[in-house]
Copies of this chain bind each other. A is one copy, B any other.
């Protein structure tokens, strides 16, 4: 007899609370007592499902890598790519970015925990590289490679191009999240359009 529905719910509540606390103060500073309180269970209950505190982190990271690796990075993105294939490069990229950002926001805390703990746990880093980074790079190459074959793109290193584009978008999100007071505008769509314009056409005046 497997775990009951209620047990499943309890486990999920604990995981959810742990993600929040971990993302708020980091794994090491997070207290199991606080996780229990936020999850609305007794502290002992946590240890019925996760014998060690580390097991909590590991399950969260595994879940996150599954979520990001399979669902987000691949199938749902491919759908967006398929749907927007016929559009101009500008619209194509804008559709992808808007879609990715929407998803990213939903999983922001989860992503924070993974990025953060990756630095300190070699096993987490390795999983991230194998299950996400490499796939993301390949997917980026694939998407841009297709456009390159279509004659839309210059003959440029696709890894660098895809990575650079990700960097531009990533730093925009980071800035908006952590340093909002630096911003000049709040028009997100407009800003994405500018970023895409820089990526596609550069900042240099044509001569």
Interface residues of A (CB under 8 A from B): 24-29, 89, 112, 116, 118-120, 125, 129, 133-134, 137, 144, 151-154, 156-157, 159-161, 163-164, 166-172, 175, 178-179, 181-185, 191, 194-195, 197-205
Q: Which residues of the other chain, B, contact A161 by a CB distance below 8 angstroms? A: 198, 203
CA distance A173 to B141 in the complex (A): 19
Q: Are B203 and A133 in contact (CB under 8 A)?
A: no
Give me 8 A-to-B residue pairs in the complex whose CB atoms sit less than 8 angstroms apart, sorted by A's number. A26-B119, A112-B119, A116-B116, A125-B178, A134-B182, A156-B197, A163-B171, A163-B172
Least CB separation from A180: chain B residue: B129
Of B151, B164, B205, which contacts A198 at CB under 8 A? B164
- Interface pair A164/B154, CB less than 8 Å apart: no
A29 to B25, CA, bound (A): 12
User: Given known contacts A164-B198, A168-B164, A170-B171, is B204 in contact with A153 (CB within 8 Å)?
Assistant: yes
Contact A179 B29 (CB under 8 A): no
Contact assessment for A202 and B205 in the assembled complex, using a CB-CB cutoff below 8 Å: no
Chain B minimum-CB-distance residue to A151: B205
A133 to B156, CA, bound (A): 32
A133-B179, A154-B203, A156-B198 provided; 6 other pairs, C-beta below 8 A? Answer: A125-B178, A152-B204, A156-B203, A157-B184, A157-B194, A160-B194
- Counting from the closest, the 3 A-B pairs by CB-CB distance are A167-B171, A28-B28, A202-B202
Give the Cβ gap from A175 to chain B, nearest Cβ, in Å.
6
Distance to closest chain B CB from A149 (angstroms)? 12
B167 and A205 within 8 A (CB):
no
Identify A191's interface contact among B125, B137, B160, B182, CB under 8 A.
B160
Question: For residue A118, which residues in chain B have a CB less than 8 angstroms away from its CB?
Answer: 178
